[in-house]
Amino acid sequence: NAGVTQTPKFRVLKTGQSMTLLCAQDMNHEYMYWYRQDPGMGLRLIHYSVGEGTTAKGEVPDGYNVSRLKKQNFLLGLESAAPSQTSVYFCASSYRRGVYNEQFFGPGTRLTVL
């Protein structure tokens, strides 16, 4: 059982380049989330999904797009990277909402935009 995995672990981009971060989970969870973590700001929700084929905006969605074509995968895209998107990105998944919303996290992707 791999849990939540993220690809890649590290990436350096130039301003204006695009990339996709892949998150995969093997726990058959319905809910998946993308967060960014910046010093002194905790985790901020970018986008999330409550099931295959559905996505919703979180707290800081601008500059990002997501897709959930398969239940086990949640992709985060940056169409035109900016230095402000330098951050550590975490994917998480959970079985369901509310009190059962224990989220399981991946190991993170460290992204630097020059």
- Amino acid 102 reads E
Q: List the one residue from 12, 27, 56, 82 that touches other proteins (CB under 8 A).
A: 56
| Minimum distance, C-beta of residue 33 to other proteins, in the bound complex (Å) | 8
Q: Which residue has the tokens 């989330």?
A: 33
Please choose, from the candidates 43, 41, 45, 44, the residue with its C-alpha nearest in 3D space to the C-alpha of residue 55. 45
**Under rule CB under 8 A, residue 76 binds other proteins:** no
Burial of 74 per CB tally in 10 Å (0-12, 13-18, 19+): buried
Which window, 12-20, 21-29, 61-69, 106-114, contacts other proteins (CB under 8 A)? 106-114
Binding site for other proteins (CB under 8 A): 4, 31, 33, 35, 40-45, 48, 50, 56, 58, 90, 92, 97-99, 101-103, 105-108
